[in-house]
Copies of this chain bind each other. A is one copy, B any other.
Amino acid sequence: MRWAEGFIAVDWGTTNRRGYRLAADGRLADEIEDERGILAVPPGGFPEAVERLTERLGELPLLMAGMIGSNRGWAEAPYVHCPAGLAELSERLCWIEPGRIAIVPGVSFANGTGADVMRGEEVQILGAVAEGLIPADATVCHPGTHNKWIRLEGGRIVRFRTVMTGELFNLLKEHSILADLLDQPADLGPAFEAGVRHGLAKDDLTAELFSVRARVLLGKAPRAEAASYTSGLLIGSDARIGLRGAGDGEIVVVGRPELTRLFAAALAVAGRPARELDGEEAFLCGARRLAELMR
């Protein structure tokens, strides 16, 4: 019954971490966000990192999701295979300390030679479904370092595909020949939309990326628009892949608002209705539901 008295929920990613204290009535009582992602924690350092966290947020039961359950995290929580709903996640929690500290398993999909995995998004998506914020049958887009296109049927994740859009944009921005062109804000507007249109219509991403640079060198496109065009190009290519087999309905775009607005805009260019949902809100829905299932 301890979970009914409140608990700590942590969305623990590769480079960032968000921790929340949820009160007995489910209300959000406190929260922190920092850059103590799993890569910032030395091997064997998770017990201490968690102790610091609970000193800050409160000595309560702890529910963690995300890359903390990967082979680079605290303990490897085996994947739940699709179809996966909240009940399956709850049954397969990885208990670090029985009854007190749990890691939510990730979800895997395999079909022929196809294979995919997620860690963290499942809590958000299935929580939002349980809360009625996403229909039980829907296509969800979850942008992030690795964007996920997720198909829900009967309230469970039945299949999904990951596109490396966010990581590729970061690689190009940090380390590539495009780095100096991408070192400026990418935002909505005509350049972004032109990139989206190219990405949706043409399957030549790895060539078009170089054209971004060539156009600037030859004076055919302004340097200031390169980042927005490239962002649109990558997101348009992503949507071209993700919209296949996505049915006709509204796409629910879940995640950080600064990313969901870009993907929603790209879907509008593609003529698909899209609705944005804050991933943080969705995560809290999922954490509360999982805690309820432990009572």
Q: Which residues of A does B touch, CB under 8 Å?
A: 79, 108, 110, 113-117, 146, 161-165, 167-168, 171-172, 174-177, 203-207, 209-211, 213-215, 217-218, 220-221, 234, 237-238, 240-241
Contacts and interface: CB of A to CB of B under 8 A. Distances in A.
Identify the 4 closest CB pairs spanning chains A and B, nearest first. A203-B203, A115-B214, A115-B215, A162-B210
Contact of A218 (B115, B146, B161, B204): B115
Most buried by B among A114, A210, A220: A210
A171 B164 contact: no
A269 to B, nearest CB: 17
A220 B110 contact: yes
A172 to B, nearest CB: 7
Nearest to A70: B217
A69 to B, nearest CB: 12
Contact of A163 (B162, B164, B203, B207): B207
A117 B210 CA distance: 9
Nearest to A211: B115
Contact of A115 (B220, B234, B238): B220
Given A115-B215, A171-B171, A218-B79, A205 B207 contact: no
